Amino acid sequence: MPIYKAPVRDFQFVLHEYLNVEQYKDVPGFADSGPELMNPVLEAAAQLCEEVLFPLNEKGDKIGLKYADGKVTMPDGFKEAYKTYVEGGWPSFTCDPAYGGQGLPDVLNMPLMEMVCSSNLSFGLTPGLSHGAYNALLTYGSDALKKRYLPKMVTGHWSGVMCLTEPQAGTDLGLIRTKAEPNADGSYNITGGKIFISSGEHELTENIVHLILARLPDAPPGIKGISLFVSSKFHVNEDGSMGERNKIRCDGIEHKMGLHCSPTCVMSYDGAKAYLVGEKHKGMRAMFVMMNAARLYVGVQGLGIGEVAYQNALAYAKDRLQMRALTGAKFPDKPADPIIVHPDVRRMILTQKAFCEGSRALALEMALKIDLAHRHPDPQVKKECDDFVQLMTPITKSYLTDGGFEMASLAVQVYGGYGYIGEYGVEQYVRDARITMIYEGTNGVQALDLVGRKLPLSAGRYLRSFFHPATEFVAKHKDNPAMAEFTKPLHQHIGYLQQATMWVASRGMGNPDEAGAAATEYQKMFAHVAMAYIWARQAVIAQQKLASGSDKEFYQGKIDTARFFMQRILPANLGLLASITNGSKSIMQAAI
C-alpha cells in the first residue's frame, strides 16, 4: 500500500520563510496570509487529502469508470469524497466574493492543489478544470452570464469543463470545425463534436458548464475565427435556476494509460443552446489570458505526483534490505543493509527531493506573482510580476511535468521489480503523470512558446525579469564564503544560459529551425538555472536559521539538497549547451 503525508512543514517554509507572503498583507486578499491563519488551513487540507482522497486513489485506478447510455459512473466513494470537498468550502477558496467566494490569493490555494494532485489526481481534475472554466467566465463573461453560472460553480455544486480539442484540432486549434449559429434571442446553437474532454460527463455535480470553442458563420478561417461560448448540460435560467436538459451528450469515454477515474469524454453538441463569452472571433485571446494559471496548475499536477512518488521511494529505501554498503556493513545485526546506503539509491532519492522542494518553491512563487500581477496597487509591480509569469510559465509547466514523470519512474526504479508490478502502487504514478507532459500545450509546444514568443517579445524585457534579480542575488552574496558553493555555480550557469540565449536569438532570427531545434534543450537549461537560483535562496535562509538553532534537521536538509543540486544536477547544462550550439543540421537534414 502506498503512503502519503502532506508536506506541511515545507509549505510553511515556502510560504512564510522563502516567499514571506505576510509582507503583502496590505494587498487585497492577503490580510490573512500569516501562519496563525494559514496553519489550520494547511492542516485541514492535509487531513482531507490524506484521509479522504488518498485512500480512493489506488482503488479508483483498479476499478475505473463505467460508461452506459451517455452516463459515466465512478467507483464507490468518489461522490461522497466530492461532497466532503464541497462542504469544506474548498472550491470557493480563491473565488470572487461577489459570487460567493472567499477571495483569497492563489498562492495560499496552491498547497491544497498540490496535495489533491498527490493524493488523487483523477479526482483533482474535476475541481481543477472547473476553476479554469470559472476563471474564463469571470474574466470574459457579461454580468448577466456571471450571475447565471458563477454562484453554483463557486460553491462546487456545478462543475465546469474546457472544450477545445477536436479529432483534427489538437495543438492547432485554428482547425476547429464546431459551429455556432446565432438565434433571434441572442443565444447560439452549437453543433459539432469534441474529444478528450476531461470531466465532460460525470455524476459528481448536478450540472456541468461547458466552455466551448466554436466558429460563427462569418468567421475568418484559422485561429482568428474562433469564438468562446458557454453552455451547460442542463439549461440555466436567467435567475440561475436549472431548466431542461440541453442537447449535449457524452458518446463515450476513452480507455487510457492512467487517470482511470478521470472521464476523458467524447462529446457531441447537437444544436446545444449556448451564449457568447467575450467578443466574437476573440476566443483564443480569452484562452491565452487564462493559460498562465492553467499551465501552472498542470505543472503542479506533475509536482504532486513527484512528491507522492518520492515519499514512497524514500520509505521503501529505508526498509528494503539488499546487499551491504560498499564501505562495509552499516547494519551488521541485519541480514543486509537497507538500500538507502547505496550511492545510486541515494542519488535517486536526492534527485526526487531536489525536484519536489525546488518545484514547490517555483510553483508557489509563480502563483504569488500571478496574484500580485492582478491585485497589487502599484502598476510597476504589476508589470514586473506579469513579465516574470509570462517568461516562466512554459518553463514551469514543462519542468514540473517532465520532472513529475521522471520522479515517478525513479520511484519504480527504487522499488526494483516491486515497482513494476501493480501490488505496491507506484507504477500508477508513472501512468498518471505521463499525460501532464501532453495536455494544456505539449511540452514541445511550451518550448516553442519560450523561444518563439517569450524571448523576442518586449525586446528582452521578460528575460530581464529573471536575469536581473538572479544577478543581483549573486552580487549581494558573493563575499559570503559560506554561500560560495551556491553562488559560484549559479553565477557560472547564468553565464551559460546567457550564452545559449544569445545563440538561440541570433541563429533563430536567420533560420527559425535553429530556434525550433534548440527549444527543448534551452527550456531545460533555463529551468535548471531557475532551480539553482531557488536553491541558493533556500540555502541562505537555511544557513541563517541553522545559526539561530531552530529545526536543525529540516534546515540542514535544505542545505544538503541545495549542494546536491548544484553539484549533481546543474552540470547537465553543459551537455545541453553543447547540444544547442551544435545546431539544427543533424536534425533537419537527417533522412527520416
Q: Is 252 left (phi over 0), alpha (psi -120 to 50) or beta?
A: left
CB of 198 to ligand FAD, least distance (A): 3
If one asks whether residue 164 binds ligand FAD (CB under 6 A), the answer comes out as yes
- Interface with ligand FAD by CB under 6 A: which range of 163-171, 303-311, 423-431, 544-552? 163-171
Q: Which three cell numbers stand for residue 104?
A: 483569497
| Nearest CB to ligand FAD, comparing residues 171 and 544 | 171
| Nearest CB to ligand FAD, comparing residues 171 and 567 | 171
Burial of 565 (0-12, 13-18, 19+ CB in 10 A): buried
| 8 Å CB contact between 303 and 403 | yes
Which distant-in-sequence residues (6+ apart) come within 8 Å of 416 by Cβ?
Answer: 320
| DSSP per-residue codes, 330-381 | S-TTSSS-BGGGSHHHHHHHHHHHHHHHHHHHHHHHHHHHHHHHHH-S-HHH
Footprint of ligand FAD on 195-214 (CB under 6 A)? 196-198
- Interface with ligand FAD by CB under 6 A: which range of 160-168, 278-286, 418-426, 467-475? 160-168
Task: Please list the alpha-helical segments (H only) found in 478-511.
Answer: 484-510
CB of 296 to ligand FAD, least distance (A): 16
CB of 360 to ligand FAD, least distance (A): 24
- Interface with ligand FAD by CB under 6 A: which range of 107-115, 288-296, 317-325, 432-440? 432-440
Q: Which of 536, 558, 553 is nearest to 480 (CA)?
A: 536
CB of 327 to ligand FAD, least distance (A): 45
| Nearest CB to ligand FAD, comparing residues 136 and 197 | 197
Task: Please list the alpha-helical segments (H only) found in 141-203.
Answer: 143-155
| Nearest CB to ligand FAD, comparing residues 130 and 487 | 130
| Nearest CB to ligand FAD, comparing residues 291 and 494 | 291
Question: Considering CB under 6 A, how many residues would be counted as binding ligand FAD?
Answer: 20
Radius of gyration of the CA atoms of the chain, in A: 24
Site string for ligand FAD, 102-131 (x = CB under 6 A): ---------------------------x--
Q: Choose the catalytic residue: 201, 307, 427, 440.
A: 440
Residue at 185: amino acid letter = D
Out of 72, 435, 518, 534, name the contact with ligand FAD by CB under 6 A.
Answer: 435
How far is residue 474 from each of residues 17, 477, 487, measured CA to CA in Å?
19, 5, 6
How far is residue 173 from each of residues 221, 225, 228, 389, measured CA to CA in Å?
11, 10, 12, 23
| Nearest CB to ligand FAD, comparing residues 410 and 517 | 517
- Interface with ligand FAD by CB under 6 A: which range of 23-31, 60-68, 440-448, 525-533? 440-448
* Rounded Cα–Cα distance for residues 105 and 371 (Å): 6
Footprint of ligand FAD on 15-54 (CB under 6 A)? none
N residues, the chain: 592
DSSP structure class, residue 329: -
In 3-state terms, the chain is what percent helix, strand and coil (to 5)?
65, 15, 25
If one asks whether residue 444 binds ligand FAD (CB under 6 A), the answer comes out as yes
If one asks whether residue 170 binds ligand FAD (CB under 6 A), the answer comes out as yes
Q: 440 an active-site residue?
A: yes
Burial of 185 (0-12, 13-18, 19+ CB in 10 A): exposed
If one asks whether residue 55 binds ligand FAD (CB under 6 A), the answer comes out as no
- Interface with ligand FAD by CB under 6 A: which range of 201-209, 226-234, 369-377, 434-442? 434-442
CB of 461 to ligand FAD, least distance (A): 25
Helix (H) / strand (E) containing 197: strand 188-198
* Rounded Cα–Cα distance for residues 291 and 282 (Å): 15
CB atoms within 10 A of CB 581: 14
Burial of 119 (0-12, 13-18, 19+ CB in 10 A): buried
| Nearest CB to ligand FAD, comparing residues 155 and 436 | 436
- Interface with ligand FAD by CB under 6 A: which range of 192-200, 311-319, 497-505, 563-571? 192-200
Q: Which residue has the closest beta carbon to ligand FAD?
A: 170
- Interface with ligand FAD by CB under 6 A: which range of 31-39, 190-198, 319-327, 454-462? 190-198
Out of 442, 471, 499, 543, name the contact with ligand FAD by CB under 6 A.
Answer: 442
| Nearest CB to ligand FAD, comparing residues 70 and 97 | 70
If one asks whether residue 511 binds ligand FAD (CB under 6 A), the answer comes out as no
How far is residue 389 from each of residues 196, 247, 372, 386, 395, measured CA to CA in Å?
28, 39, 10, 5, 10
Out of 58, 181, 271, 439, name the contact with ligand FAD by CB under 6 A.
Answer: 439
Strands 158-163 and 207-214: what pairing? parallel
Site string for ligand FAD, 446-465 (x = CB under 6 A): --x-----------------
Footprint of ligand FAD on 231-290 (CB under 6 A)? 256, 259, 264
CB of 75 to ligand FAD, least distance (A): 18
* Rounded Cα–Cα distance for residues 28 and 15 (Å): 17
State the residue for C-alpha cell 507532459. 437
CB of 228 to ligand FAD, least distance (A): 12
CB atoms within 10 A of CB 143: 8
CB of 281 to ligand FAD, least distance (A): 19
Footprint of ligand FAD (CB under 6 A): 129, 162-165, 170-171, 196-198, 256, 259, 264, 435, 438-439, 442, 444-445, 448
- Annotated catalytic sites, by residue? 440
